[in-house]
Amino acid sequence: MNQIFRFVLLIGLGFSSLSGYAQSARLRTANRQFDNLSYVSAVRAYEDFLRVDRKKEPAETREALTKLAYSYRKLEDTRNAERVYADLIKEYPDLDSEIYLYYAQALAANGKYRESQKYYSQYGEKQSQDLRGKRFAVSYMDMGRFYQDSSSYRVSSLPINSRQADFSPMYYKNGLVFVSARDESGVVKRVFSWNQTPFLDLYFHPDTVQLRVAPAETVRNPGTAVLGGGNEPSLTMPEATTAEMQTLTKAQVFSRTLNTKYHEGPMTFTRDQTTIVFTRNNASKGKSGKSSDGIRKLKLYTSVNRNGKWVDIQEVPFNSNEYSVGHPAFAPDDSKMYFVSDMPGGYGGTDIYVVEYNNGQWGTPVNMGKDINTEGNEMFPYADAAGNLYFSSDGHEGLGGLDVFLAELKDGVAYRGVQNLGAPINSDKDDFGFIADRGRTSGYFSSNRKKGISDDDIYSFRRACKQLNIFVYDKKTGAPIELADVRILRNGSNQELQVTNSEGSTNLCLESNTEYEFRAVKDGYALNSVRFSTLTQSPQPVMSVSIYLTKSENTLVRGVVKTEVNQKPAQGVKVTLRNDRDKSEQSVITGPDGGYEFTTKPNAPYTITAQKDKYATKKAPLAKGKRTGRAVTDSIGLYGVGDVFQLKNIYYDLDKFFIRADAARELDHVLAILKEYPKMKIELRSHTDARATDTYNMRLSENRARAAMDYLVARGITPSRLSAHGYGESEIVNGCVDGVACAESEHQKNRRTEFKILAVE
């Protein structure tokens, strides 16, 4: 992808013209183009110099070859880069170690993995601290790992692709927003001097359903396992009318407000799609800005949609003129955003960072760490509906160029490491800008696999289901058990809960490289489970497992962990059931539905505990009286740091701040919470209606918050666990601001008190 959104992020030239000799005119001309980042012109000039003056001055020849190879590398012309790096290594024995790395990368990008392995190994010997040399050399000893799941995918080129670069699709409404350098209308054509291509803008295709009928579908050549690996793909063309083709290929400018005369690029949307964060050249009010080294860095900008128009364009607060920030991706719940930067303190060229996001307020960016980031370049993050993080990298072991990787996150950590998606999603060229549904059964990505130069295209993919049928039977009679719950665990964590049909069966599509456990739960039976692994591949399209249940007097305990603040299921909670008599324990990690299931012995005392980082640990006995051999439902609520609870019955009389009787009852509920969690600290937040002056309302709200605090302190709560703040009329909840006529009952809704959890243990 020879476009600005890798170029600017990857600038780190480290070159300077040699000054120990008088340069020839041709070399000076080439160096000027190189220093101006005009790599197309530089290539022509260096090739011209080497054709005429190559044998005149060895030092000049070495400089020209080094910069020519680097220019081809920046233009993603891997075949010419390989050619020139081969000349360098053949002619000069004392080269910088990076030359061996770049040569190894060019060889891999051209599908020459055995040769690439040799030069990765040599690079590793010269730079032992950089793990890429060792990792890639070992990885290329067995290429089979990259092709394990290839037969499950079908990849198609989209009809919206143009003659110029098209990449980084993102879901928006029922269509796709994407980045394109397609030719502009008008007499004046603006081009980017780096590679002489038009500047990038945002475009939109309104209907992904239409795109499923692609005019060109990529299929495997006879005798090859996958698309990629240096093999030229064949194309099949389904029949389509001219009118259908015009509909399919139609794409429109996404926003004339967001598109400018500079580059706009990869973007992300909040869940409600009313806010966009997008990448743009460093520019303000039509004027381009540069860093101290003369480079236009990338920045992130936000915009909100009002009445169908994108307005209020603003920079994010962590932008900088001295480094690039780009490639944004919101988490599915909008609580955080991933992005890419080459800011100081990273692990390599570009790293992935995460920043908290709360109602338009940004936190402090945090590097995702060495499990995600490498000495190379990590770029183009995307978080799917399940919270899995996809990104592209040339630092993790791959097929060449940028490959797409998956990191399953638990509390922000890639707890299973990083997984290469393999072919045909990945090829020996650059593969990036990946988006997909929750199960990765379909989606889109970008690649320059067709030729490798100036031809980024967007592809769709579909992944066939490798089905596993799960049967549940009565062990004694062999009869199928209907309406049995089957809990699916992936790599030790609870996932979805399915129910067997009249034939005692249910099914799912298997993920590769996954350890499964299936737990069957039915009232009147003892819980039983079976394990299944896809770490090794089976050629069978449909497989099955059976679970046999034995009738039992044991009691099933099942429930759901929810967050108290919004009563939504809590994922990633460790739920432990402890037998207080024999000290045995059972534990599970909740999945997206927050559910858990256990078996208990008759008349034994049990304690159930729920734990998650930044949440108060909930610990409670399981009452004996509940267990009568039937299933018991026992849900758990968790309080988390940052949660804000409105005390709905704490209202105040006009201009008063004493605690009313109805307010006292609600504060008694807070008192009970604080006594249950003796390490919890809270902030009492009081608000007023909009009547009276701002100063008066601020003082009144502070008195009200203090009155609530005094009430709790008088009943035994240590003052150090409490803080009280008044917010006056700054946070009206129902529009009853100054100048708006409202009923007394509406004003009273604003005279309220909340409590916010500041700390838990």
Same structural domain for residues 368 and 505?
Answer: no
pTM: 0.74
Mean pLDDT of the region 547-553: 92
Is residue 23 assigned to a domain? Answer: no
Token duo for residue 213: 């009928």
- The verdict on 517 and 572 lying in the same domain is no
Is 225 a residue whose pLDDT tops 60? no
- 540 pLDDT band, cuts 50/70/90, is confident
As a whole number of angstroms, the distance between CA 139 and CA 133 comes to: 10
Q: Are residues 289 and 304 in the same domain?
A: yes
Assess whether 340 and 413 both reside in one domain. yes
pLDDT tens-place string over residues 343-383: 999 998 999 999 999 888 999 999 999 999 999 999 999 99
Q: What value does the mean pLDDT take over residues 7-22?
A: 47
CATH number of the domain that 704 lies in?
Answer: 3.30.1330.60
Assess if residue 57 is contained within a domain: no
688-698 pLDDT tens trace: 888 888 888 89
| pLDDT per position as a tens digit, 165-221 | 899 999 999 999 999 988 655 434 444 444 455 678 999 999 888 886 444 443 333
Structurally, the chain folds into a number of domains equal to 4
Question: 309 and 442: one domain?
Answer: yes
Same domain, 264 and 398: yes
497 and 424 belong to one structural domain: no
- pLDDT > 70? residue 433: yes
Confidence class for position 495, pLDDT limits 50, 70, 90: confident
User: What pLDDT does residue 650 have?
Assistant: 56
User: CA 286 to CA 595: how far, in whole Å?
Assistant: 53
Determine the Cα angle at 198 with ends 192 and 199, to 5°: 75
For the chain, helix (H) and strand (E) counts, in that order, are 13, 48
Residue with the bigger pLDDT between 110 and 659: it is 110
Beta-ladder partners of 373? none
What pLDDT, on the 0 to 100 scale, is given for residue 555? 84
- What SS3 state is found at 563? strand
pLDDT 10s digits, 239-252:
334 444 455 567 88
* DSSP-derived 3-state class of residue 265: strand
- 103 in any annotated domain: no
The percent of residues in the chain predicted with pLDDT above 70, rounded, is 84
Confidence of residue 326 (pLDDT cuts 50, 70, 90): very high
For residue 290, the model assigns a pLDDT of 59
Residues 6 or more apart whose Cβ sits within 8 Å of residue 192: 3, 4, 198, 199, 263
Among 195, 196, 339, smallest CA distance to 265 is for 339
Q: Where are the beta strands (DSSP E) in 74-136?
A: none
Q: Answer yes or no: is 29 within a domain.
A: no
Q: Is the pLDDT of residue 284 over 60?
A: no
Let me know whether 540 and 558 are in one domain: no
Is 745 a member of any domain?
yes
H-helix or E-strand containing 277?
strand 275-281
**At 624, is the pLDDT very low, low, confident or very high (cuts 50, 70, 90)?**
low
**Angle separating helix axes 58-74 and 78-91, nearest 10 degrees:** 150
Q: CA of 393: how far to CAs of 419, 431, 485, 511, 592, in Å?
A: 11, 9, 40, 22, 28
Residue 666 pLDDT level (bands cut at 50, 70, 90)? confident
Q: What is the pLDDT of residue 76?
A: 85
Q: Which of 581, 613, 640 is the last residue of a domain?
A: 640
Same domain, 360 and 425: yes
Tens of pLDDT, residues 468-489: 999 999 999 999 999 999 999 9
Whether residues 583 and 541 share a domain: the answer is: no
| pLDDT at residue number 662 | 65
Give the residue with greater pLDDT, 754 vs 659: 754
pLDDT tens-digit map of 141-161 = 989 889 988 888 999 999 999
pLDDT at 236: 32
What is the predicted pLDDT for the residue at 490? 87
pLDDT at 629 over 70: no
Domain interval for residue 512: 466-550
Check residue 739 and give its pLDDT.
81
Q: What is the CATH number of the domain that holds 197?
A: 2.120.10.30
pLDDT tier, 510 (very low <50, low <70, confident <90, very high otherwise): confident
What is the rounded average pLDDT of the residues 530-540?
82
- Average pLDDT score over residue span 320-326: 92
Residue 391 lies in a domain: yes
Omega before 222 within 30 of 0, i.e. cis: no
What mean pLDDT do residues 211-233 have? 37
Q: Please enumerate, as own/partner, the contacts of 615-621 that have beta carbons within 8 Å and a separation of 24 or more.
A: 615/563, 615/570, 615/573, 615/639, 615/640, 615/641, 615/760, 616/640, 616/677, 616/679, 616/680, 616/757, 616/760, 616/761, 617/760, 617/761
pLDDT at 428 over 80: yes
> How sure is the predictor about 623, in pLDDT bands with cuts at 50, 70 and 90?
low
For residues 421 and 487, state if they share a domain.
no
Size of the chain in residues: 761
The runs of H, that is alpha helices, within 488-555 are none
User: What per-residue confidence (pLDDT) applies to 188?
Assistant: 40
Three-state DSSP state, 90: helix
In a 3-state reduction of DSSP, which class is residue 568? coil
Neighbouring-strand partners of residue 442? 462
pLDDT at 754: 87
> Which of 599, 625, 640 is a domain's end point?
640
Give pLDDT, residue 491.
80
> In this structure, are residues 757 and 640 in contact, taking their beta carbons and an 8 Å threshold?
yes
Mean pLDDT for 268-283 is 91
Decide if 595 contacts 497 (C-beta within 8 A).
yes
Q: What is the distance between the alpha carbons of residues 267 and 270, in angstroms, rounded to a whole number?
A: 10
Q: Which of the four pLDDT bands, split at 50, 70 and 90, describes residue 4? A: very low
Task: Tell me: do 588 and 696 sit in the same domain.
Answer: no
pLDDT of 63 > 90? The answer is yes
Q: Indicate the pLDDT class of residue 323, thresholds 50, 70 and 90.
A: very high
Res 466: pLDDT: 85
Average pLDDT of the residues of the chain: 84
* CATH number of residue 605's parent domain: 2.60.40.10
Q: What is the pLDDT of residue 498?
A: 94
Of 238-242, 327-331, 628-632, least confident by mean pLDDT is 238-242
The residue out of 463, 480, 510 marking a domain boundary is 463
55 within some domain: no
Please state which of the ranges 114-123, 406-415, 469-478 shows the lowest mean pLDDT.
406-415
pLDDT digits 0-9 by tens, 704-732: 888 889 889 999 999 999 999 999 888 88
How far apart CA 51 and CA 45 sit, in angstroms, is 10
Average pLDDT estimate for 565-581: 92
pLDDT at 243: 46
Where is mean pLDDT largest: 390-399, 403-412, 449-458? 390-399
Q: What is the pLDDT of residue 192?
A: 46
Rounded Cα–Cα distance for residues 579 and 624 (Å)? 12
Partners of 542 in the beta sheet?
467
The pLDDT, as a whole number, for residue 367 is 97
The answer to which of 180-184, 501-505, 512-516, 573-577 has the lowest mean pLDDT is 180-184
Domain-embedded: residue 336: yes
